[in-house]
Amino acid sequence: MSNSGTAETADIKVRFERSEWELACKRKGTTTAYLAGDQASVEQACLAQGPEAPKGPTGNNKSSLTPQQILDEVMAALGKLKPQVVAGANECDRLASTEPVGDASAHYVGFIDAVAAEPACRAALKSTKDAARAQVSLAVIALQAGRFAEASSLAQQALKKNALNAGTVLAVLHINGFNGPVDYRKGYELLFNEARKGSLDAIGDLASYIREGRGIEAQPAIALDLAKLAAGRGSASAKVFIGQYYAAGKVVAQDRNEAMRLYREAAETMPPAMVGILYVLRSSQSAAEQAELKQLAARAIEQATRFADMGSLSAKQMLATIYYNGLGVPVDRPKALGLYEEVAKFNIPSANTALAYAYLNGTGVTQSRERALEYFKRAATNGSKDAEIQIARILAKQ
Q: Which of 31-35, 44-48, 70-74, 188-192 has the lowest mean pLDDT?
A: 31-35
Q: What is the Cα 40 distance to its own chain's centre?
A: 38
Measured at the alpha carbon of residue 8, what is the angle toward residues 60 and 47, in degrees to the nearest 5? 60
Measured at the alpha carbon of residue 244, what is the angle toward residues 286 and 269, in degrees to the nearest 5? 85
What's the pLDDT score for residue 41? 61
Q: Distance from first CA to last CA of the chain, Å, rounded?
A: 16
Instruction: Report, as an integer, the average pLDDT of 359-382.
Output: 94
What's the pLDDT score for residue 128? 78
- Is the confidence at residue 77, as pLDDT, over 50? yes
Local confidence band at 388 (pLDDT 50, 70, 90 cut-offs): confident
DSSP-assigned beta bridge partners for residue 101: 104
Does pTM surpass 0.85? no
Query: At residue 348, what is the residue type?
Result: I
C-beta separation of 370 from 1 below 8 A: yes
Q: 125-139 burial by CB neighbour count: b if 16+ within 10 A, else e?
A: beeeebbbbbbbbbb
What's the pLDDT score for residue 42? 59
- Is the confidence at residue 3, as pLDDT, over 70? no
Local confidence band at 27 (pLDDT 50, 70, 90 cut-offs): low
What's the pLDDT score for residue 301? 98
Instruction: Report, as an integer, the average pLDDT of 242-270.
Output: 95
How do residues 194-213 score in pLDDT, each as one tens digit? 999 999 999 999 999 999 99
Instruction: Report, as an integer, the average pLDDT of 118-128.
Output: 92
